[in-house]
Structure 1
Amino acid sequence: SYEKAVDLEQAAAYPQIFYTSNSGLRPVVDRMFEQVKVRPQIAYEIEEDGSMAGLVAQNFGIAVMPEIPVLKQLEVDVVPLRNQHQKRYVYMACGKDKYQPPLVSKFADYVKRRGF
């Protein structure tokens, strides 16, 4: 690709390889398209990132996906999206009344203090 970055509206002109509806990233990608009021042409729905990247490498379409290591091993162009600021929430769970090794307790305290 000769583009340094593209808008989602530009990307929507191509057949899309999407995550399946049970993927945690599907609502994120759906919301991205909804925000720019564009309806993508979904050609395939895939559960796994690596398979998605493989279909892109075989010219089945393009995909909006996180940057994953396998992309460096395939013949694909990774083009950043312009004007996209997505948040992803990550949670930490610890057993309440169970013994936690000191390192785990220390890490949990660190996360709480930092407000991650």
Structure 2
Amino acid sequence: MELASEDYEERNVAGRLAETHWKLAKTIKQENGVTGECGEHLDKAAQYYCQTLPRYDGKQGLAKVKRQQGKQHPDDGDEAAARECLEEIATLEGEYDVHLLTDADKRRLDE
């Protein structure tokens, strides 16, 4: 990131880092279930996806991370945090005028 001299170069690097953290989180989840390490990679992926906004890949990536985090929070007994994750996706939709919420997301928000 530090070597990037242009904004688009920084966004490209951030996008690659985001995808790497996303893939690591998924791999860890498949092998060990949801762990603290999995959550750390999801947080890092979200951070890097935010750096790629307003690109569509950044919006879509941030939505998939928030959706995954929203699925984990109820398992931890934190329904409010789960709702907050889904509301963040809805906010992205409104802010960037793009469809990101799935039907399942909408049902969870209604519940």
Q: Same fold (TM over 0.5)?
A: no
Instruction: State the structure with bigger RCO (CA 8 A, min sep 6), 1 or 2.
Output: 1
TM-score norm. by structure 1 comes to: 0.24
